[in-house]
Amino acid sequence: MEIWIGRNGERHGPYKEEDIRQWLRSGKVSRDDLGWREGLADWQPLSVLFPDEVPSEPPPVDNPYAAPVAPASSLPQTNAAALEDYAGFWKRLAAFIIDTIILSIAFKLLGTFFGVSAAEEAMKQQMLGGMSLLEAYRGFYLNTWVYSTLTTAITWLYFASLESSAWQATVGKLALGVRVTDLAGHRISFARGLGRYAAKFLSYLILLIGFLMIGFTARKQGLHDLIASTLVLNGRASEFKDAQPKSDAGNGSLNA
């Protein structure tokens, strides 16, 4: 059974029943914190939901010799508590710029190994010698096709593997404090990560409109997010538990 906790007007959870019982015994949560589970008409104090886990009578507040009551600890976050905290266009753009810089440095080193600079210089000399721009570029890409193929594959794997990893983010996204999830707030699979990146090519084909969609879609999804059924949310994956959110958990009277 999963329990939601209401504290200071905010909704936290869901949490497992055994965790709530342990927190009541240790004092991590208060008997007066509100709880809600599926089937309840309204929120109830935890002392009502779990009467066997709290003392039958609270210590008298006017007893000068009673031990002070420690303040309730902060509750761990879950995906459900932040499933609508979408990362915006500019934050995602900044993360992409960081990733581009990182990849560019790596590709510069790789290009040295494959002689890309020499191929560029040869192309310039051919153009100065009267060769057409199209023919010069054709020769350049014939000389560097292995490098181009490798950089494309590395970029694809970079995004797919990191966004499907425990980080749920590339280095740029991690630096900006955002993560990639499925529509339920969970970590995506490597296969979905591959498909998500592949869908970005459609945005390039339609003049980047698929990326601009992040700025005006309801859940700040680009075309590739819509195709892959993914979200980009604020918060690093390490800050959240991989808990399945319940869409009907707000049926109680507490509003987050």
CA 147 → CA 108, 111, 135, 142, 144, distances in Å? 11, 7, 19, 10, 5
In this predicted structure, the answer to whether residue 25 has a pLDDT above a threshold of 70 is: yes
Looking at the fold, whether 189 and 118 belong to one and the same domain comes out as: yes
pTM attached to this predicted model = 0.63
Residue 51 has what pLDDT?
A: 84
Domain count within the chain: 2
Q: Does the residue 82 lie in any domain?
A: no
| CATH code of 14's domain | 3.30.1490
Q: Does the residue 214 lie in any domain?
A: yes
- What residue numbers bound the domain in which 179 lies? 89-239
Q: Does the residue 160 lie in any domain?
A: yes
In this predicted structure, the answer to whether residue 98 has a pLDDT above a threshold of 90 is: yes
Q: Which residue has the higher pLDDT, 10 or 100?
A: 100
With residue 133 as reference, give the H or E element that holds it: helix 133-143
Q: Does the residue 253 lie in any domain?
A: no
Q: What is the mean pLDDT of residues 78-101?
A: 84
With residue 45 as reference, give the H or E element that holds it: strand 44-45
Residues with Cβ within 8 Å of residue 212, at least 6 apart in sequence = 89
Q: What is the pLDDT of residues 131-176, one digit of tens each?
A: 887 887 788 788 888 888 999 999 999 999 999 999 999 999 999 9
For the chain, give the mean pLDDT. 82
Confidence grade of residue 121 (pLDDT, cut at 50, 70, 90): confident
